[in-house]
């Protein structure tokens, strides 16, 4: 039985080893220990979707995982989407379609959309709206987010 453990995980291609309290949430670990503050923490109980990241390629709420549970995992946060100073096509589409206002929910949305579009093409508006259902935005009314996802589908070569 431990109150601290050593974890090794890969975040956006970089391997990190740290000793963490076993009750530290993964979102807190990313933000406070690794200084990756692009992952936003809203509701802290898995409802708002702001803290969504990719764990081994699949979306997860980083407020619903302890950092110790991610030991050995490969994680992608919003900081891992842009490459060589160029926005990811999903980010480009959100930019062009004004798919965000305050931006608080955007990082979680981008990773949700990343998983959604990675294995499908030409999604219907209905399926886009269903895919976004686990991410709450309080600014946009979703219209431009839906447009941004449709645009991302068109411009992301995958």
Partner 1 sequence: MRPALFEYAVAADVDQAIGLLGQFGDEAKVLAGGQSLVPMLNFRLVRPRYLIDIGRIKGLDYISLVDGGLHIGALTRQRTVERSDLVREVCPLLAEAIKHVGHQQTRNRGTVGGSLAHADPAAELPAVVTALDAKLRVKSTAGERVLQAREFFRGSLTTALRPNEILVAVEIPSWPIGTGSGFCEYSRRQGDFAIVGAAAVMQRDANGRVARVGVALIGTGDRPFDATPISTDRLIGQIPDEANCKAAAEEIGASVEPDSDIHAPADYRKHLATVLAGRALLCAAQRAVIAGRERGNGH
Closest to partner 1 by CB, 23 vs 98, is 23
Does 88 contact partner 1 by CB under 8 A?
no
User: Please, what is the minimum distance in Å from the beta carbon of residue 134 to partner 1?
Assistant: 3
Nearest to 8 by CA among 53, 62, 72: 72
Query: Is 16 strand, coil or helix?
Result: strand
49 close to 61: Cβ distance less than 8 angstroms: yes
Q: How far apart, in whole angstroms, are the C-alpha atoms of residue 103 and residue 101?
A: 5
16 close to 9: Cβ distance less than 8 angstroms: yes
99 close to 140: Cβ distance less than 8 angstroms: yes
Give the number of other Cβ atoms within 10 Å of residue 81's Cβ.
19
Stretch of residues binding partner 1 (CB under 8 A), selected from 7-15, 78-86, 125-133, 143-151: 125-133
Task: Find tokens 């929910």 and name the residue.
Answer: 105
Does 149 contact partner 1 by CB under 8 A?
no
Task: Count interface residues toward partner 1 (CB under 8 A).
Answer: 32
Does 87 contact partner 1 by CB under 8 A?
no
Binding string, residues 10-29; x marks residues near partner 1 by CB under 8 A:
-----------xxxxx--x-
Question: Which listed residue (12, 16, 38, 46) binds partner 1 by CB under 8 A?
Answer: 46
Nearest to 56 by CA among 127, 1, 111: 111
Does 31 contact partner 1 by CB under 8 A?
no
Does 101 contact partner 1 by CB under 8 A?
no
Interface residues with partner 1 (CB under 8 A) are: 1-3, 5, 21-25, 28, 44-46, 49, 52, 55, 58-61, 63-66, 68-69, 112, 115, 130-131, 133-134
């Amino acid at each position: 039985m431990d109150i601290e453990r050593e974890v090794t995980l890969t975040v956006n291609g970089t391997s990190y080893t740290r000793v963490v309290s076993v009750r530290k949430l993964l979102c807190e670990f990313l933000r406070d220990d690794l200084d990756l503050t692009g992952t936003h923490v809203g509701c802290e109980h898995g409802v708002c979707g702001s803290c969504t990241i990719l764990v081994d390629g699949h979306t997860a709420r980083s407020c619903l995982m302890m950092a110790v549970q991610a030991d050995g995992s490969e994680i992608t946060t919003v900081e891992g989407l842009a490459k060589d100073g160029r926005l990811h096509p999903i980010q480009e589409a959100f930019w062009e379609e004004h798919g965000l206002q305050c931006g608080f929910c955007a990082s979680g949305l981008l990773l949700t959309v990343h998983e959604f579009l990675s294995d499908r093409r030409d999604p219907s508006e209905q399926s886009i709206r269903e895919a976004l259902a686990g991410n709450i935005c309080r600014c946009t009314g979703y219209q431009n987010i839906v447009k941004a996802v449709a645009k991302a589908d068109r411009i992301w070569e995958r």
